[in-house]
Amino acid sequence: MNRYLFLLAAAFTLASTALAHDYMQGDIHIMKPWSRPLPAVSVNGAAYMTLVNKGKATDKLISISTPAARKAELHNHILESGMMKMRPVDAMAITPGEPLVMQSGGLHIMLMGLAEPLVEGNSFPLTLTFERAGSIEVKVMIFEPEGTDHGHMKHDKKKEGG
């Protein structure tokens, strides 16, 4: 009986953790904020998530902040003079019906001057501020996503290789 109760409690804990990893702020659905674990010597990192606008009007992610880094900025990778470069962006538009996917090699949140290493299994708070929906604090989970190959998503490798 005790084993059954333990398994039941564990199942509820896992279910609540999975559900707690998605957030709603106004019309914006924030899905699974995450960051990749990095070596202790890393001074910069990144955070990723998917934002879905369930409303009728476009909203914008206009700022982010976190105690996990000295500075957090919205960034994008762009092709400039034949080279991929990271550049800050003022805002990220979230159009109804078009998910905004933050991912490696594209739009992301750049974390500069990490306060402590990004260790697998840990998490950190991140405050997102939207133009229309307001602000919300989310928990960014730190883990190595399945299907990675030396820190790069396998589907990214397929895109690069054709």
* Distance of alpha carbon 110 from alpha carbon 57, whole angstroms: 27
Q: Confirm whether 36 is domain-assigned.
A: yes
The C-alpha atoms of residue 121 and residue 142 are separated, in whole angstroms, by: 6
pLDDT in tens, the chain (162 residues): 555 444 444 444 444 444 458 999 999 999 999 999 999 999 999 999 999 999 999 999 999 999 999 999 999 988 888 888 899 999 999 999 999 999 999 999 999 999 999 999 999 999 999 999 999 999 999 999 887 654 444 334 333 444
Question: Does 11 reside within a domain?
Answer: no
Containing 2, the helix (H) or strand (E) segment is helix 2-20
Is 159 a member of any domain?
no
Q: Is 19 helix (H, G, I), strand (E, B) or coil?
A: helix
112 contacts: CB under 8 Å, gap ≥ 6: 43, 44, 69, 70, 71, 72, 73
The CATH number assigned to the domain holding 122 equals: 2.60.40.1890
In the chain, the number of structural domains is 1
Q: What is the pTM of this model?
A: 0.78
